[in-house]
Every structure is written in C-alpha cells, then in structure tokens.
C-alpha cells in the first residue's frame, strides 16, 4: 500500500490529559465496535505506547526489552545498539513488535521507551494486546501515552459524499462531537470528542479523542479508513 503521511494533526502540538485512572484502558473497545458496524474489512491495527522516566527497573536496556517481549509473548528477531539507545524488533502470534529505548537529554538522565505493535490478527484481540502493554508501562507511569489506530478497507473508489457518510456513521456510533475536519482532494480527516473514551488530548481549547480519516489507494484500488484514539499517528 502506498503510504502517505497524514498531515492533518501534528501529534506533538497536543497537550496530554494528566488526570489518572490507571485501571481504565478499554478505550479501543469502543472504537472497534464502532468500526465493525460499518461493514468494512479490518486490515491492521497499530498500538503505540510510550513513557519517559528518570530510570527503568532494568538499567540493562536489553533486559528491559526482553521483559517487554515476554509480556507480549513475542520472540526477538534482532536488536541494534548505538551510543545511547537500543532498538529491537520481534514477532508474536498475530503481529510484530518494535521497542525503542534511549537516554533523552544532554545529561542522559531521562529515559524514553516507545513500544510500537503492528497487529495483523483478529481485531477483537487488539484490546488484549494493548492491555498487556498498558499494564507493563503502567509500572513506570500512572498514565502511559497509549495510541490505537485501526485500518479498515473496502474495494473500489468512493466519492466524497459516500466517504463522509461512513465517517459520520463512525462518529455517530461513538456518540462523538465533531471538533475539526480537513477535506483535501483525496483525503478526508475528522477529529472529535466522545465521553465514551476516557483518554484525550487538547487541540486548542477543545478535547479530542477520536480521529477518523479516509483515502483512496490506486495501488490497491480501494478505500482505506483509519480510525484512531486519541489521534492518528501513522502513515497510510
């Protein structure tokens, strides 16, 4: 699939919600239910979790990476080292895992860990995989930064009206209020807010926790619909 960077929303311009209810991590289940009602075909799920701390439990970064793989029941494929960072790739039953750890600032006193998961299996098991990652990262942060992206597909090219109808139905299923939209040639991207999802970011003065976009792929001769909470952070 030809990948096109979604320019709609710059992730780093958002401010995180700092309130904490660590036991709540079922945001993606609402998104899955809304997407499954559309009749579109699920293609892939993307989960990203990250934290920044002064230190990790395992000062040995490789030991920390192996712990992540153990939690996810994944097998390491390769591990690469550089001066102050480690990147590892692994596989589990329904997808791939990438773990990145680095010492972040000039004094090398802070540590950033990012775990990216590409899930190719049953869409309903994404919540379980995400929960495992959430609980692992929760050891370091009351509110780990978690982002879920779901990619769905339908054959053929839909016009703008039909694409908007599908996106509007997803927003309606989520009981979401539209905050902003971008309609630019082949790209439609809408963000909104729903009380059904706990996590959110701030866009301007508005809460945002749902982002749905569509784009036609001439390579696959079909439409991709990407739904994410709180915002899309992948290329497609």
Residue 44 has pLDDT above 80, yes or no: yes
Which pLDDT band, with edges at 50, 70 and 90, does 185 fall under?
confident
DSSP 219: T
Q: Give pLDDT, residue 25.
A: 53
Residues recorded for the chain: 236
Q: Give pLDDT, residue 235.
A: 84
DSSP string, 101-124: EEE-STT---EEEEEEEEE-S-GG
Residue 225 has pLDDT above 90, yes or no: yes
Sequence ranges of the domains in the chain: 11-229
Quote the pTM value.
Answer: 0.86
Q: Give pLDDT, residue 2.
A: 40
Is the peptide bond between 46 and the residue preceding it cis, with omega within 30 degrees of 0? no
Phi, psi of 148 (to 5 degrees): -115, 130
Over the chain, what is the mean pLDDT? 86
Cα 152 to Cα 47: distance, rounded to the nearest angstrom: 15
Task: Please provide the distance, in angstroms rounded to a whole number, between the alpha carbons at the two ends of the chain.
Answer: 8
Q: Is 31 helix (H, G, I), strand (E, B) or coil?
A: helix
Convert the pLDDT of each residue in 97-152 to its tens digit. Answer: 999 999 876 555 688 999 999 999 999 899 999 999 999 999 888 889 999 999 99
* 15-16/95-103 β-pairing: unpaired
Q: Give pLDDT, residue 58.
A: 73
Q: Where are the beta strands (DSSP E) in 1-110?
A: 15-16, 41-53, 75-81, 85-92, 95-103
What's domain 11-229's architecture? 2-Layer Sandwich (3.30)
């Amino acid at each position: 699939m030809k990948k096109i960077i979604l320019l709609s929303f710059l992730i780093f311009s958002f401010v995180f919600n700092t309130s904490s209810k660590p036991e709540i991590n079922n945001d993606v289940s609402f998104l899955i239910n809304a997407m499954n009602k559309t009749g579109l075909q699920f293609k892939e799920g993307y989960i990203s979790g990250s934290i920044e701390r002064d230190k990790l439990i395992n000062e040995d970064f490789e030991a920390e990476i192996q712990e992540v793989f153990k939690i996810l029941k994944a097998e390491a494929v390769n591990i690469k080292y550089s001066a102050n960072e480690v990147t590892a790739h692994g596989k589990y039953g329904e997808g791939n895992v990438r773990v990145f750890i680095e010492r972040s600032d000039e004094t090398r006193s802070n540590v950033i860990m990012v775990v990216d998961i590409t899930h190719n299996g049953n869409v309903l098991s994404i919540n379980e995989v995400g929960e495992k990652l959430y609980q692992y990262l929760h050891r370091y942060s009351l509110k780990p930064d978690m982002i879920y992206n779901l990619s769905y597909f339908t054959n053929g090219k839909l016009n703008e009206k039909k694409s908007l109808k599908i996106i509007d139905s997803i927003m309606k299923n989520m009981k979401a209020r539209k905050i902003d939209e971008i309609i630019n040639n082949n790209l439609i991207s809408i963000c909104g807010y729903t009380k059904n999802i706990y996590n959110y970011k701030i866009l301007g003065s508005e809460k945002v926790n749902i982002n749905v976009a569509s784009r036609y792929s001439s390579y696959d001769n079909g439409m991709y619909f990407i739904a994410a909470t709180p915002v899309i952070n992948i290329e497609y």
